[in-house]
Copies of this chain bind each other. A is one copy, B any other.
């Protein structure tokens, strides 16, 4: 099957998936580019592939529609001239067996959120809880920054104070990151097997409410007293906690 008209009703329906409300209504999201389509295929999330006639799609079992490059640009809203895109179902992963959690408090920048998800996957985390006010993880910029890592993780939005209360009732210590000099230097932390680590908003850091609920606050020692980009701070924290568990 091939579609060549930009006015085609199905093209308009696919293009709507750029908006969160349609993603949620249809339980589907949109990805673009061969690398992401391959990663979504490995994770079993593809429902439909859209590509130019010249492109060989990676998963022969998945329904595929040939479209023009102009249609791909319209659907994805990008100008990068991709020759493949796909529609995916949301991952349906449980955090029932999780032993380590990443909690994100109002991470607003899509690039930062995606980069943190990418690092989380690389450092062996499986569960990320997002507060209200975080960027939507199925936003196209977030997905691109994750390089596909989010297809493999359990990522859900919730009330972080409720989640923290719940974790504490199960004996899980909560470590918040902060710039306070009276926090524990990250390098001096003894890292248990089970814990949750909490990163906060780009400008304001972790909310006072969540800081007060945390078991300890950590800070990253620098040479000059400056702040770091939150995705960099998260990367350093996840790296150091991994080194401490498995030196």
**CB of A66 to closest CB in B, whole Å:** 27
| Given A111-B111, A236-B235: A243 in contact with B229 (beta carbons within 8 A) | no
B contact residues around A119 at 8 Å (CB): 228-229, 232
B contact residues around A240 at 8 Å (CB): 239
In the bound assembly, the distance between CA atoms of A122 and B231 in angstroms comes to 15
- Is the pair B232, A121 in contact by a Cβ cutoff of 8 Å? no
| Copies of this chain, count | 2
**What band does the interface of chain A fall in when counting residues whose beta carbon is under 8 Å from B?**
20 to 34
- Is the pair B242, A239 in contact by a Cβ cutoff of 8 Å? no
In the bound assembly, the distance between CA atoms of A147 and B124 in angstroms comes to 30
User: Is there a chain B Cβ closer than 8 Å to A127's Cβ?
Assistant: no
**CB of A39 to closest CB in B, whole Å:** 11
User: Is there a chain B Cβ closer than 8 Å to A222's Cβ?
Assistant: yes
Instruction: Name A residues whose Cβ lies closer than 8 Å to a Cβ of B.
Output: 111, 115, 118-119, 121-124, 145, 147, 149, 187, 220-224, 226-229, 231-236, 239-240, 242-243, 247
A-B contact pairs, 8 of them (CB 8 A): A119-B229, A122-B226, A122-B228, A123-B222, A123-B223, A223-B242, A231-B232, A236-B239
